[in-house]
Each structure stands twice: as C-alpha cells, then as structure tokens.
Amino acid sequence: MKKLYTLIKNDLKLIVRDKTLLSFLLLPPVLIIAFKFLTPILVETAPILEEYRVIIGMFASIQTAIMFGFVTSFLILDEKDENVMNVIRILPISGFYFILYRLLFATVFSSIAAYAMITLSDIAHPGNLEAILLAILYGMTAPTISLAISTYAKNKVEGMAYFKGIDLLLMLPIASFFVGSSLSMVFSILPTYWVFHFYETSYNDAPAFEFFAVGFCFFGILISLLLFQFRKRVFGR
C-alpha cells in the first residue's frame, strides 16, 4: 500500500506540473457542466435535436471518458522520452506494476466520469443499471487508448497525433446510426460500436445486454493484445 501511495503521489505531481495534462484531467467536470447546461439550450434552439439526444449522450460520454486515457498515455510517453523506463525496469518491483496501477486508475476514473456524464447531464439517461454498465464500457476506452499510444508512439508529438486519430476512430461508429442496417455492421469492427448500440438500445427500453457482453469481451481482448504488445515493445519481454 505504501508503494501504491508513492506511485499515486508521484503521478499527481507529474500531472499537476504539466499544464497540458492538468487541463486534460480537469476537462471531464467542465464537459459535464457544459453538456448539462448547453444541451437544453441546443434542443430548444433546434427541436429536431430532441430525437438525437442519445447520440449527443454517446458523444459527450466518450469525450469525457478518453481524457484519462490520454493523461495516462502521456505519463508513460514521458517516461519513455526521458529514459526513465530503464530505471523502472531495474527496480525491485515489477515495472508492469507501474503500468497496471495506472491503467486500473484510468479505467476507474474514466468510468466514474462517464457515469457522471450519463446520469448528471440529463442528456439521455438509459436506466440505473444500464448507466453503470455503460460507464464500465466507457471506462475500458482509457486503458485501450493508454496502451495504444504508449506502445506505438515514439514521442509526445506522435502521441498527440495518435490520440486525435484514436478519438476519431472511437467516435466513428456513431455513423452507424445514420446509415442503413446492412452498412451499420461495418462499424462493428470497432469496440465503441457495441457501446453506442448498448446505449441506444437500452435508452429505448429494449433488451440490450448482448451489446454489453460483446463490447466487454471486445475491449477485454483488445486490452490483452495491447498489453502483450506493450510488454514486448516497451519492456522488451
């Protein structure tokens, strides 16, 4: 527990002393407040948007959830850039412990932020249990982003480009609601397809747990593959 406390304290110092990371960390509450107050104004101004509340909810939740993935990936990229990763590898604790603790925290905070967005913003509430399950799925985007960026990006500039690309990819399945049902399945190769469809279906009070199950397994497999790649490429194991 003492080591975990040391790691948390150290990471907080690193985040607070970096303006970009700090702003990304503070962005989720700002987004929740912004969506809570702006969505009613938007719907009032353009009543057609009432039909698209759930789409707005999907977008708002994913944008809130990915911030912690970004912060974690940049902490790891910093360690790669500054060669600290070599020192971590020769500590008497597993270097993987450093990474797993961060991924776990990013998942928890992302889930909490997504849950807060779904339940507090009043954009599109899918039900209490569904909100929790949705928050878990959204939370799983954080380790996915962290591992993808920190494994493949060589530096922070590349990392920022990867982040924008991954953000776009994760949002892409929203398009599945605007195309015909045959084309819609094309987007199912992306994990967020299952998250968004779970959201939409449960918002419309239809049985939706198969979407949750597939989404959960999809993220689970993806995170495992990325962890394997991370170990191989970053830790050389």
Interface ranges with other proteins (CB under 8 A): 2-3, 6, 10, 13-14, 17-18, 78-79, 82-84, 86-87, 89-94, 236-237
Nearer to other proteins, 87 or 213 (CB): 87
Nearer to other proteins, 11 or 200 (CB): 11
Nearer to other proteins, 79 or 130 (CB): 79
Nearer to other proteins, 86 or 204 (CB): 86
Nearest distance from residue 10's CB to other proteins, in Å?
5
Total residues belonging to the chain = 237
Nearer to other proteins, 86 or 224 (CB): 86
